[in-house]
Structure 1
Amino acid sequence: MTQVPFATPFTDVLCTNYTPSSEDKETIKTLLVAPLAQLTQFNDKISQLQHVLDSLKQERDVLDTAIKEHTRLLSPIHSVPDDVLRDIFCACLPDTHNAVMSCDEAPLILGLVCSRWRSVAYSTPLLWATLHIPLPSPISLPTDLNQPLIDHNLYDSRLEKHCTAIHNWLTRSGTCPLSISCIPANHSTAYDEARADQARCRRERYMKTILPFSHRRYRFELSISIRFEAINNALTLLSPASLPILTHLRLIFSPAITRAVDDGEGRAVHTLIQAPQLRILEIIPMAFSLRNVQRDWSRLSSIALVQSLHLPSPIGNFSTTEEVHYILTKCSNLSNRCTLYICNTSSEPAIQPTGSINLPYLRHLNIVEFSPLMNSSLRPLFECFSDISSLRSISYQNRQYVPHIKGESLISLLSHAGDQITHLCTTFNKYTTADLKTIFSLVPNLINLTENNPFNNALVYGTNVYPQVFSEDEDLIFFDVLTSSSGNTTILCPHLQSMEVINTAELDDARILSFIQRRMAAVHSHGIDPLRKFRATFKRPMEVDIRAALREYVDSGQLELNISYIPEQRYTEPQTFLDPRDGLMES
């Protein structure tokens, strides 16, 4: 029943379907005169109080703003000296790639905070000493009939502004050594070839923008996705002497580029490689022969002749055994890392390299063998190794898509390396049991072991997609050799402490769990070192909660366990006109 604050004869019929008579209607109207007047008074008082409340809120906000403004003056950041602020700003820069020209990231975002920060940021040369330049792709016809054609004049105007911004950016770097990457987002073969003239002119504009800063370049990443003459025209003013401090060079060639047939085609690229202080060289893929480059190869400390894992490439763009032998005999002072993708083809004559390879300072060697031949082997190359006394880490991958591969290449390499290897990475599931036992017996001091299965990647060789070739029981061999499950009286690799499994779908969780448990149990039964770290990445859902089963080791700190299950990711086409992160390659 509704509560009524005044006397009324209609209490019993309120909130009902009662229909008042004419006399009752007049009575109700007379009855409501006084309450309506009282309601008006209440509304007037509320309006007055609301006005007072609004006025108080306004005064409070003014006072609060003034207090906050004064409180900000007490903030420690205001008392930070400019030199300390510069160090803080430099710590905001990305550490895995060059800075990008985006207002959402350092250094540009630092200049949007306040006038002082902008002044400090723009007067700190080190903030502007790295830059990633996303080279624009040629204009393509719209795929949607309702999409308007791109205005070429507007497009060129925006690119001109971009080049001006690049020049201003690099000018702010003062005299600091520069790290620059020029990599387009689109590597499509037809895309570039069909509009090569258009692309060449625009790319030349970018190259000429950064040419005046060549003498300060110490790190340079360049993608060449159109014909050789385009890059030649843009870099004709360069000479080795104009690159006095260039120490890091990465060259990325489009699959559209076939191997240069003579010295003239790649002369501009040769100039970059001939930089006198060059120490680290990476070429993806091999689009020309390094035999034609005249330089002192012994000055290199790291070299990588790599084949792109994401794009198809002509088979001629692989390094051959003969070329690799030539380079390794020249690069006698390699110390950091050597990565080589080698291919033997059926059209290549049987090459037996001669001449010793001495790499006394090399610590890391990464070999990837591509071959359409069933019985391909790099043993003749590895037999030339004479001095690799500092080698501690070996990664060897054989990309032959057959159920099993011969282990003679890796066995030959390990035989020459001696027992000093502590890090080993390969696809162990591809070897026979006999080869596995030989391989692991050659590395008694192994500490870190990585099982890398490249066959789960979406790689393309020519026009054929690689098939899956594993049987469901082949992963048992790998684990059995490293445990006592087969009645082994001794366990190979007794000092193994860290293991990583990459790109694997075939190994199931139960077998992984069983291996770890058997290895940990052998600490007491066989006196081996305990497994302290295990990492795995599976491209499938979880089957067994491995962490829960190994909780006693994980909780006590005996085992660091990191297992992730990554769903398949789909590529999405970038939507922006020129994304500052296009083509970015994080190291």
Structure 2
Amino acid sequence: MQSPFESILHTNHIPTEEQCKAIEDFLEFPEKQLVEVDSKITEVDLQLRELQNKRDSLEWVASPLRRAVKAHRAIISLARRLPDDVYREIFPYCLPTESYATPNPLDAPIVLTHVCRRWRHIAHSTPRLWSRLHMDPLAIPEYDEDSDAPTFPTREWIQRAAAVPFSLSFHSASPYFPPVSAVRELIEGLALSSTTPRWNNFAISLPSADVLKILALPYLQGATTNPFWNAQSVVVAMQRLADFSLNHSVDPHPLVAILAKLDLKRNKQLRELTFVHNGYDRNLLHDFTPFLPCLQLEMLDLQDPNYTSRSYSMASLPPPMAYEILKCCRNLVVFKMDACQFEPSLDEIPPERYGMDRLKELSISLYDLNEVTDIAWFSNFDFPALTCLHLRSRSMNGPGSQSGTLAHVLKQVRHNLTSLVLDPGYLEQKHLIKILRALPSLVQLHLKSAYFANDFEESMEEEYKEVAKWTDEVLKCLTPQDDQDRPHACPRLQYLKWQYNTCFTEAELLKFLYQRSSHPSSLVPLKQVRIDFGRLRTNHWWELECRELVEAGLDLRVTYLDPEVDPIYFEEKNLFYRTEQSTEEEARVELPIIEKSGYLDFGWE
């Protein structure tokens, strides 16, 4: 509303009698309009209440009409008219993606059978829904170890899978192994099934004290029924066998008896083997490979995923044993291992060289990345196809700062390397920059540090603090610059994941993102960036400045610590959050230190 008195509105001006009369005359018409509008609002509100009362009085008529309309709409709904074969294509997308399906009635595929009779029939007649099963007896409420007849749905599940290759994992998510009776019940359930599954994957955790007893069960003696002899992928996990009743004068190592009983060489389909045993030693140097179909294997995983110590892994291999395994398994595409420290008096590597022509991914965890001798076998092999490397240090100590192992490995494979996962423990910034500058073909980079921001403030010795921080200098070496004397590091980088030790500024990160997308010397733009800062936010607006990059296709995701809680750090990097509301209770957030690599396709989900 335009007013002739704009100049004195919202001021302390005292009006004259003439101005008061003029303002009264000016407000006469708008006040009259307000009265009319309020009157109409009251009238409409009255009509609305009358209609609402009328609707409520007719609800006894409207409710049956609504039910009738809903029932008729249901008849012509798209969900009812979809053909069965369309449902058979849709239902598998309901299955869990990161694990096998379980018999939980609240999860697919079981929950799909509870909707209606038709869905139950479709689900039961869709073999793909039942081709995977994970059994955790410790997580099944109905299971009672002392019960005479614990029930597992293995038989029915396998029968519904029909001729589709079947995958079964049987172990507990807890640190404890399943009871022996549960393993026997599983095997007996397989024996009672009228259908012998076409085995795709068989994964089982074996109780250490009764391994041979379980392997002696009748079902595991049949050439066509034993999953160890028929599956394309086998996972066997067991604890170190301390009290094993064997005649050690005949067989000095219990693992040899287990390998002989497994007899995996009978499996002509076996391509992938995961074998976790917390008890390798140098006496097994020539006793492990004779029991494996070495030339068939394409993936061999000997890493222990459950051992959380950064300093020691009982599943680690002595260097001569790693040499012997690679020498015999020359068709491997993926090899994963934990490495022992080199012992000069015991570890001797033969001089013969071999070519690993098919090996694409190599994953190794070591005590630290400083001692080249811990992978003394590496120089005895050629890796012309190696493109993915995962190196992890189990130590957080300063002596690993030189990273001699990584430099030794990169000297041989750096030109072919397209994916690098690096968890180095303690690594000085200058050595990290030197490493990155040596990777001209790198497409994926995953940096995972053992240190958070307050580690540099509290728990680290002064002489190590500054040199161990990964600051703006690391980003600068990756950023195209107008005035730099040499090209930026990793010119083909498209996927970056950086977890912790993020001592760089958000401003430098923003510059890195923009320069990578638009600078003339940047060969390819970034496609995906994940940053887990492991610290509190210092810039609250920088992500808004990335809007153009995100709209252009950059997949950018960042996470910070929650400012409302006080993080308490421990050596294993488990965060305990003590909330302000309750100082007695603590909520625990696990930050995984051990991250086993899968074969890295381009991009992280």
- Do both proteins adopt the same fold according to a TM-score greater than 0.5, normalized to the shorter chain? yes
Q: Please give the secondary structure, in 2, of the residue aligned with 1:162.
A: coil
Supply the AA of the counterpart residue of 1:160: A
Q: Equivalences for 1:1-150 in 2 at 5 Å?
A: 56-136=58-138
**Residue aligning to 2:170:** 182
Whether the 8 Å CA contact 1:253–1:287 is kept in 2: the answer is no
Residues 483, 361 of structure 1: CA spacing in aligned structure 2 closer, same or farther, 3 A cutoff?
Answer: same
**More deviation in 176-185 or 55-64?**
55-64
Cα distance, 1:161 vs. partner?
Answer: 4.7
Q: Deviations over 1:141-181 (max 9, x none)?
A: xxxxxxxxxxxx99358783532x33222222222211111
Whether the 8 Å CA contact 1:284–1:306 is kept in 2: the answer is yes
Supply the AA of the counterpart residue of 2:258: G
Q: Distance in 2 between matches of 1:202 and 1:522?
A: 55
Q: Is the aligned partner of 1:217 residue 2:207?
A: no
Cα distance, 1:423 vs. partner?
Answer: 1.8
Q: Distance in 1 between matches of 2:217 and 2:537?
A: 52
Residues 531, 516 of structure 1: CA spacing in aligned structure 2 closer, same or farther, 3 A cutoff?
Answer: farther
Residues 531, 282 of structure 1: CA spacing in aligned structure 2 closer, same or farther, 3 A cutoff?
Answer: same
Cα distance, 1:54 vs. partner?
Answer: 8.6
Q: Distance in 2 between matches of 1:522 and 1:187?
A: 45
**Residue aligning to 1:321:** 319
**Residue aligning to 1:262:** 254
The partner residue of 2:465 within 447, 471, 483 is 471
Whether the 8 Å CA contact 2:231–2:267 is kept in 1: the answer is yes
Q: Please give the secondary structure, in 1, of the residue aligned with 2:180.
A: helix
Whether the 8 Å CA contact 1:484–1:491 is kept in 2: the answer is yes
Structure having the higher Rg:
1
Q: Is the aligned partner of 1:291 residue 2:298?
A: no
User: Aligned residues, how many?
Assistant: 488
Q: Is the aligned partner of 1:382 residue 2:378?
A: yes
Residues 549, 224 of structure 1: CA spacing in aligned structure 2 closer, same or farther, 3 A cutoff?
Answer: same
The partner residue of 1:529 within 523, 530, 535 is 523
**Residue aligning to 1:365:** 362
Q: Distance in 2 between matches of 1:119 and 1:303?
A: 40
Cα distance, 1:134 vs. partner?
Answer: 0.5
Whether the 8 Å CA contact 1:93–1:106 is kept in 2: the answer is yes
Q: Distance in 1 between matches of 2:159 and 2:523?
A: 56
Q: Is the aligned partner of 1:411 residue 2:413?
A: no
Q: Please give the secondary structure, in 2, of the residue aligned with 1:69.
A: helix
**Residue aligning to 1:426:** 422
Q: Deviations over 1:288-336 (max 9, x none)?
A: 557254233121112211123554598543122112111111222223x
**More deviation in 90-99 or 211-220?**
211-220
Residues 116, 354 of structure 1: CA spacing in aligned structure 2 closer, same or farther, 3 A cutoff?
Answer: same
Q: Equivalences for 1:155-554 in 2 at 5 Å?
A: 155-156=144-145, 160-163=149-152, 165-188=153-176, 199-211=179-191, 215-227=197-209, 228-234=211-217, 237-238=220-221, 242-243=226-227, 245-254=230-239, 261-263=253-255, 265-267=257-259, 270-272=262-264, 274-285=266-277, 287=279, 291=288, 293-311=290-308, 315-335=313-333, 337-344=334-341, 349-370=346-367, 375=371, 377-386=373-382, 388-405=383-400, 406-427=402-423, 430-431=426-427, 435-436=431-432, 439-454=435-450, 471-474=465-468, 475-476=470-471, 478-479=474-475, 481-482=477-478, 489-498=485-494, 500-504=496-500, 506-510=501-505, 513-514=507-508, 517=511, 520-521=514-515, 527-529=521-523, 532=526, 533-545=528-540, 547-548=542-543, 550-551=545-546, 554=549
CA RMSD, Structure 1 to Structure 2 (Å) = 4.2
Supply the AA of the counterpart residue of 1:266: I
**Residue aligning to 1:577:** none
Residues 495, 258 of structure 1: CA spacing in aligned structure 2 closer, same or farther, 3 A cutoff?
Answer: farther
Supply the AA of the counterpart residue of 1:333: N
Q: Please give the secondary structure, in 1, of the residue aligned with 2:349.
A: coil
Q: Deviations over 1:447-499 (max 9, x none)?
A: 2222122467xxxxxxxxxx8676244224644654689x9621342514335
Whether the 8 Å CA contact 2:164–2:198 is kept in 1: the answer is yes
Q: Distance in 1 between matches of 2:358 and 2:202?
A: 25
Q: Distance in 1 between matches of 2:114 and 2:345?
A: 59
Q: Distance in 1 between matches of 2:138 and 2:516?
A: 58
Whether the 8 Å CA contact 1:135–1:185 is kept in 2: the answer is no
Q: Distance in 1 between matches of 2:553 and 2:84?
A: 46
Q: Distance in 2 between matches of 1:341 and 1:520?
A: 39
Whether the 8 Å CA contact 2:437–2:489 is kept in 1: the answer is yes
Cα distance, 1:59 vs. partner?
Answer: 4.0
Cα distance, 1:186 vs. partner?
Answer: 2.7
Q: Distance in 2 between matches of 1:546 and 1:55?
A: 55
Identity of aligned residues (%): 18
Q: Please give the secondary structure, in 2, of the residue aligned with 1:317.
A: coil
Q: Distance in 2 between matches of 1:344 and 1:552?
A: 48
Whether the 8 Å CA contact 2:365–2:391 is kept in 1: the answer is yes
TM-score (norm 2): 0.69
More RCO (CA 8 Å, sep 6+):
1
Whether the 8 Å CA contact 2:265–2:293 is kept in 1: the answer is no
Q: Deviations over 1:364-410 (max 9, x none)?
A: 22222136x97463452221122x22222222223233214233322
Cα distance, 1:555 vs. partner?
Answer: 5.0
Q: Distance in 2 between matches of 1:479 and 1:369?
A: 27
Supply the AA of the counterpart residue of 2:181: C
Whether the 8 Å CA contact 2:361–2:386 is kept in 1: the answer is yes
Residues 87, 66 of structure 1: CA spacing in aligned structure 2 closer, same or farther, 3 A cutoff?
Answer: same
Cα distance, 1:73 vs. partner?
Answer: 1.1
Q: Please give the secondary structure, in 1, of the residue aligned with 2:386.
A: coil
Cα distance, 1:268 vs. partner?
Answer: 7.1
Whether the 8 Å CA contact 2:256–2:288 is kept in 1: the answer is no
Q: Distance in 2 between matches of 1:318 and 1:235?
A: 33
TM-score (norm 1): 0.71
Q: Distance in 2 between matches of 1:83 and 1:548?
A: 45
Whether the 8 Å CA contact 1:483–1:515 is kept in 2: the answer is no
What are the ranges of 5 or more consecutive residues in structure 1 without an aligned counterpart? 1-51, 140-152, 457-466, 572-584
Cα distance, 1:261 vs. partner?
Answer: 1.9
Residues 320, 94 of structure 1: CA spacing in aligned structure 2 closer, same or farther, 3 A cutoff?
Answer: same
Whether the 8 Å CA contact 2:393–2:424 is kept in 1: the answer is no
Supply the AA of the counterpart residue of 2:163: T
Q: Distance in 1 between matches of 2:437 and 2:597?
A: 37
What are the ranges of 5 or more consecutive residues in structure 2 without an aligned counterpart? 1-53, 245-251, 453-458, 563-573, 578-595, 599-605
Q: Distance in 1 between matches of 2:332 and 2:597?
A: 24
Q: Deviations over 1:9-67 (max 9, x none)?
A: xxxxxxxxxxxxxxxxxxxxxxxxxxxxxxxxxxxxxxxxxxx9999533432333233
Q: Please give the secondary structure, in 2, of the residue aligned with 1:172.
A: helix
Q: Distance in 1 between matches of 2:313 and 2:295?
A: 28
Q: Deviations over 1:537-558 (max 9, x none)?
A: 1333322237437436535637
Whether the 8 Å CA contact 1:125–1:176 is kept in 2: the answer is yes
Cα distance, 1:425 vs. partner?
Answer: 2.3
Cα distance, 1:279 vs. partner?
Answer: 0.9
